[in-house]
Amino acid sequence: MKKIVECVPNFSEGRNTETIDAIADAIGNTAGCTLLDVDPGRSTNRTVYTFVGEPDAVVEGALAGARVAREKIDMRTHKGEHHRMGALDVCPFIPVANVTMDECVALSKAFGQRAADELGIPVYLYEASAAQDYRRKLPQIREGQYEAVKDRIVKPEWKPDFGPAQFIPEWGATVTGARFFLIAYNVNLLSTPNQAHRIALNLREAGRGPDKPGRLKEVKGMGWYVDDYNLAQVTVNLNNYRVTPPHILYEEVKKEAALLNVAVTGSEIVGVVPLEAILAAAEYYIEKENLFVLDEDQKVRLAVERLGLNAVAPFNPKEKIIEYIIAEEPDEPLAGLTTRQFIEEVASRSSAPGGGSVSAAIAAMGAGLGSMVAKLTLGVRKFEDVDAKMRKLIPPLHQAAHALIPMIDADTHAFNDYVAALGLPKETDADRACRDEQLQLGLKNAIDTPLSVMATADAAWDALVAVATYGNIASKSDVEVGARALEMGIWGAYKNVVINMAGITDDIYKKQTLEKADALKNRAADMCGQVLEILDSRS
């Protein structure tokens, strides 16, 4: 799965449009980077850029922006309301999807080293990247702002992590590091700003001071009044949405508001949000209200509705959820075909797509039929007594059917890798050794893919047996076809495992893989028999 990192560099320029646009262009034109937002502030004289991309790409994007800043920003003339210490003041790297915090720490260090070497600037590490606790937080490093850098940077305890321990007047110093994703989140109230602030004080981690901490961890916030909306807000930064997610903050605000006889009228997310946070909200309300919601788009809709995210401005998931903003069309040329086109492609004068892709498609349809019957049973009055069972049976069948769809193309891709290895040169001993190694890798890939088809389809069997037992008997033939299709798909995938195994030279891999494949094939035959026997007994 694609790795996604967010980078949010803050540059000390919020008034000069030419410079702001030049930095935006440098970041946005970096291969692999998607610029999500540019937020300049005249009074702060600061612009916050938000962009995402794969790990290496975001480092290049940050460096591209820093190069422009080195040329165009002069801190000797900079004034603004926001605290700052450098032209590129702070540059955090934030894990969004399939990336660890440790990986982002490594990215920040790579950026810091390269920026220091190339631009000749001092760079400090903060948050998860920091080596010393006394300079872990941004306010600690930035104390005294740009004006204090000259005297602090020469002290041993304030030697930069990268770059020269000397004052660069036109630049100042830069802070970089890795931190968790920060969600800027506001809850709307029909109240006074004072009431909103009272609620914020009760909830934010700092509370009213050291002796009166608030209830929610990793929350910074206050109350204010927004003239444009004609309402008050509890405005917060959720520093770690896995500790305090938006839906928990929202529910706690509702509790506090009820004590003050104040109405809550929805909320807003400022900027973008990870999909994980929205789905967590959906799961919370699904459990709280004993709902049954399966599809991701419906879960997103539920979260948007329950949190009132459309209250003050439209919440368009494709523009607000990071994963949707940068989503690419799946590489599924076969699965994306019509049924007619797929069959015609199989029937063409070509070895791919072949039995492996067809097996994945058949298995997907088998699991899909089981899912269909379970869904047709759910919510029907005459089957209310098995409603709870159907809620548990639908997800594994639904998930297996959807998981098998991309495997239609994966099998063909795996075979193509092997074919490509066949075309490698074999003139010298080194050529032949390299070719043999790639052929073995290609064969293992061509085996592991149908083996994954078998394992994914196998996950549907227990639920399919239960659907045969409790499902709508009017759909008996659909379950029978589903069972046969699921077994056939697994059997077909097994045959692809076996035929590709002939060229494998790794005896241990061969033995272990065949044992696993045999077990899955035999279980499929047994489970299919159980489904058919159960259905015969219900007729």
Q: How far is Cα 515 from Cα 451, in angstroms, rounded to an integer?
A: 11
CA proximity to 458, closest of 413, 522, 512: 522
Identity of the amino acid at 91: C
R_g (Cα) of the chain, nearest Å: 29
CA proximity to 335, closest of 294, 365, 369: 365
CA proximity to 486, closest of 496, 494, 498: 494
User: Which residues lie across from 242 on neighbouring strands?
Assistant: none
Q: Residue 297: left (phi > 0), alpha (psi -120 to 50), or beta?
A: alpha
Q: Let me know the angle formed at the C-alpha of 82 by 76 and 85, rounded to the nearest 5 degrees.
A: 45
Instruction: Please tell me whether residue 170 adopts helix, strand or coil conformation.
Output: coil
Q: How far is Cα 222 from Cα 40, in angstroms, rounded to an integer?
A: 22
Identity of the amino acid at 411: D
Question: Which tokens belong to 95?
Answer: 């894990």
Q: How far is Cα 83 from Cα 93, in angstroms, rounded to an integer?
A: 20
Q: How far is Cα 516 from Cα 496, in angstroms, rounded to an integer?
A: 14
Question: Which tokens belong to 413?
Answer: 């891709």
411 catalytic, yes or no?
yes
Identity of the amino acid at 347: A
Q: Residue 98: left (phi > 0), alpha (psi -120 to 50), or beta?
A: left
Instruction: Please tell me whether residue 88 adopts helix, strand or coil conformation.
Output: strand
Q: Residue 483: left (phi > 0), alpha (psi -120 to 50), or beta?
A: alpha
Number of residues assigned to the chain: 539
Choosing from 89, 161, 411, 478, the catalytic residue is 411
Quote helix, strand, coil % in the chain, to nearest 5.
55, 15, 30
Contacts of 298 (CB under 8 A, 6+ apart): none
Choosing from 21, 39, 82, 436, the catalytic residue is 82
CA proximity to 98, closest of 330, 276, 277: 276
Strands (E), 204-292: 219-226, 231-238, 263-270
DSSP class of 97:
E
Question: Which tokens belong to 281?
Answer: 């909200």
Residue with tokens 């900027």: 271
Q: Residue 172: left (phi > 0), alpha (psi -120 to 50), or beta?
A: left
Q: How far is Cα 486 from Cα 488, in angstroms, rounded to an integer?
A: 5
CA proximity to 254, closest of 286, 278, 291, 285: 285
Q: Which residues are catalytic?
A: 82, 411
